[in-house]
Amino acid sequence: MTMNRAITRTLAVLALTTLLAVPSRADDLRNVKRGEPVPAYRLPAIDGALIESDSFKGSVVVVVCLSAEQRRSELAAMDSLEVVGALGSDHVRLVHVTADVVQKAYFEKFRADRKITAPLAFDADRSFYARLGLIVFPTTIVVDKDGKLTHVISLHTGEYKHTLDAYVKHALGAVTDEQLKGLLAARTADETSPRSVASAHRALARSLRDKGQLQAARDELTKAREQEPENREVILDLADLDLVMNDLDAADSLIAKVLETQPDHRRAKQLKGITLYRRGQLDQAQAVLQEALDLNPSPELAHYYLGKIFEQKGETAKALEHYREALKRFIHDADPAPVVQKDAK
């Protein structure tokens, strides 16, 4: 039993590290700055063709780096096709790139459903991504006729089409630097709504956290909250990050704001249980985490912390049961194989 408990707990800890991972303000691309040559690429396409950067010499190239089954990437794929198509220029080329080769069936269906005709290249070993130094998905880069980076758009917001259109026209030489500033300033109120801006900051914060850039992630979440002060998920994102940064008082203060208005908020309950555990208040933590488990916001985390509580209380059998549940749920949720096989049929 002791060995089984140790093995199960170790596996649970390793698996849940992905969920609890601690995730610096960075440039749009880490490795290529504006005005520098974009690394050459030679990538296989979804239709079996070969896409080579050398074949685009003399053209402005829009490269959109996508992630499978991500709504923002889907919007970037559709909007980039619309923008480039509307320009109607033989001197502008569009390429979509993804590293998610195992999701080929998903991309085939999505592209067919949305009538996306832009070539899709596979960067299977992520070597092109690495040379660029991508930070978030989607990322759109605009390359001038000399093969140099001119503009980068991180993520996708309501401003995407307007911004991409302006950037491509600038790369073509159709608008000057001053005219570009004017075009970018002429955004409609809807395109810069607080909700869309907050959503963009929150998405960037998640990516920065995943890369270990905690303070930069917190800065982005603070900006998101400035746009939507009462957004509970933004508040709880901040609380979650404060937990990672070991600022329990700050986390508790934020969690309390949510529980004051919604006492049965599932995620807030879970975070509250974790802060109680971190403070050594095991009985209270157990009660709150059990409530969170019943509400089911993220059961693998609740099971994991309940396992830790019962282990510290000396209740080995209950601890082992929760560790097993945490591991089972994590593996079930994280394993993409069934989805891929289903799509492939």
Q: Are residues 150 and 235 in the same domain?
A: no
End-to-end CA distance of the chain: 42
Indicate if 169 and 247 belong to the same structural domain: no
CATH of the domain at 169: 3.40.30.10
| Same domain as 255, residue 143 | no
Query: Is residue 68 domain-resident?
Result: yes
Question: Do residue 224 and residue 317 come from a single domain?
Answer: yes
Does residue 180 lie in a domain region? no
Distance CA 311, CA 331 (A): 22
Instruction: Tell whether 17 and 47 lie within a shared domain.
Output: no
Residue 18's pLDDT is what? 39
* 3-state secondary structure string across 281-302: CHHHHHHHHHHHHHHCCCHHHH
Residue 324: its pLDDT value, please? 81
User: How confident is the prediction along the chain (345 residues), in pLDDT tens digits per residue?
Assistant: 454 445 445 545 444 443 333 333 333 798 999 999 999 999 999 999 999 999 999 999 999 999 998 989 999 999 999 999 999 899 999 999 999 999 999 999 999 999 999 999 999 999 999 999 998 899 999 999 999 999 999 989 888 999 999 999 999 998 989 888 888 876 644 455 677 778 878 888 887 888 788 998 898 899 889 988 999 999 999 999 999 999 999 999 999 999 998 888 888 998 999 999 999 999 998 998 888 777 764 567 777 888 888 888 888 888 888 888 877 655 444 333 333 333 333
Sign, CA dihedral 227-228-234-236, equals: positive
Residues 80, 136 within the same domain: yes
Q: What is the pTM assigned to this prediction?
A: 0.53
8 A C-beta contact, residue 67 and residue 74: no
- Are 98 and 48 part of one and the same domain? yes
Residues 199 and 333 grouped into a single domain: yes
Q: Which residues contact 337 (CB under 8 A, 6 or more apart)?
A: none
Q: Which residue, among 134, 154, 261, has the nearest Cα to 204 in the 3D structure? A: 154
What angle, rounded to 10 degrees, do the helices at 266-278 and 299-312 form? 30
Interatomic CA distance for residues 306 and 310, integer angstroms: 6
The count of domains in the chain is 2
Residues 326 and 276 in one domain: yes
Range of the domain at 170: 42-175
CA distances from 194 to 27, 86, 191, 230, 245 (A): 23, 28, 9, 12, 27
Tell me the CATH number at 17: 1.25.40.10
Same domain for 235 and 199, yes or no, is: yes
* Structural domain includes residue 35: no
